[in-house]
Structure 1
Amino acid sequence: MSKQMIDYWYDYSSFDTWQFWVIVGMIIIPLVILYLFIDRKRIFLLGFFGLNIHIWMVYIDAIGTRFNFWEYPYKAIPLLPIHFGLDTSFVPVLFIFLYQWTLIKHKNFYIYSFLVAAGLTFLLKPLLAAHHFMHLKSGANFFYLFLGYILIILISKGITNVFIYLHTKEEKSKD
């Protein structure tokens, strides 16, 4: 199976295709922007939250790919079933900046994250599908993807909140 995946990648998704470079851009550009503009005072909080988003994105995407709910015809790395640029960089960085903005502006994270999830689901994902960066299969639809984003947001923010609570509790016990 691995040889077939690599052969497919060479034929349809390697360095000489524009799709490959779009995916590479989705990996590198957000990380450069993150490096330049992340709030250095909150870097560990934001990084921890972003890592949570990244991990859950990869898990959900791997499950969806494994159960044939969707597929990604173009890949940056041929052996990974996930959309590497979207899951590992673009979406986590987007949510890191959203979290940073809600902390600075004292806005409701959940409302804005649901709006961003809706934008990702109902604007970006159809655009990706139109250009064949992803294909929905086996009865999957964009609403299910939206629910997946909401689940990822809630789990990631919940885990982050638990760690904030434990850290705050420890700091108070030192006083």
Structure 2
Amino acid sequence: MTQERLLKEIDTLDIQLMDLILEHWHRFSNFSTWQFWVNIAFFLIPLVITLVFVDKKKIFQIAFYGYTFHVMFVYIDVFLSRFNYWDHPYLMIPYIPVSIPVDGSLVPVTFMLAYQIAINNQKNFYFVTFITAIIVAGMAWIWQQFELLILYNGMNLLHLFLLDLSIAILAYWFTNFFKWLNQNHQAFK
């Protein structure tokens, strides 16, 4: 099969997949379903909590950490969804292939606030993150019970815990690296 033919086949299947996703959303995840409104709540409530409780003096550092966590989490979600390790069957926006409430709000905000607690109270970041990853795994278990998260192919809550923990630590290291660059920017001139 030529590259052109293969790309045409991929495009055809992608259109069919999008049609199926839209049909599923219209039938099972639209504005009239409780799942849609749970998604809206889990998107908006963490953002409001952030606006109220984020340390305004350290907002850029904390937001950088949260954004870094969010970006890595989205990439992991896309990968694991694409390879059928998990699924969020009820999407807030069917055109976006990830769970916006989970990837863009609930989990990043939870870890962002944990990061804030650690840095503001001189607590051990790794310990606070470990506890937070347990809490987030508990939230994932609740989402499983309501079939808002489905795990496949051997993926389980321990894997989710380890992924969350790893992403949180990587986001911490990236944040510290950029803080170091900012503090030492004169050395690079």
- Per the TM superposition, whether the score is higher than 0.5 is yes
Normalised TM-score (structure 2): 0.87
Bigger Cα displacement from structure 2, 55-64 vs 77-86: 77-86
CA–CA separation in structure 1 for the residues paired with 2:109 and 2:145: 24
Identity among equivalent positions (%) equals 35
Instruction: Provide the aligned length of Structure 1 versus Structure 2.
Output: 172
Runs of 4+ in 1 over 4 A off after TM superposition: none
Match of 2:170 in 1: 155
- Deviation per CA, 1:37-92, whole angstroms, max 9, x where unpaired? 21111011011000001101101111110000011111101122222101100111
Letter in 1 for 2:180: Y
Q: Does 1:64 align with 2:80?
A: yes
The alignment's C-alpha RMSD in Å is: 1.4
**C-alpha displacement of 1:170:** 2.6
Gaps of 5+ in 1: none
CA–CA separation in structure 2 for the residues paired with 1:96 and 1:70: 23
- 1:38-53 alignment, distance < 5 Å: 38-53=54-69
Equivalent position to 1:20, from 12, 31, 36:
36
Q: Does 1:168 align with 2:183?
A: yes
Q: Which has the larger radius of gyration?
A: 2
- 1:25-174 alignment, distance < 5 Å: 25-121=41-137, 123-170=138-185
CA–CA separation in structure 1 for the residues paired with 2:135 and 2:116: 18
CA–CA separation in structure 1 for the residues paired with 2:182 and 2:147: 44
More contact order relative to length (CA 8 Å, sep ≥ 6): 1
Normalised TM-score (structure 1): 0.93
CA–CA separation in structure 1 for the residues paired with 2:21 and 2:68: 29
CA contact 1:72–1:81 (8 Å) conserved in 2: no
**C-alpha displacement of 1:114:** 1.0
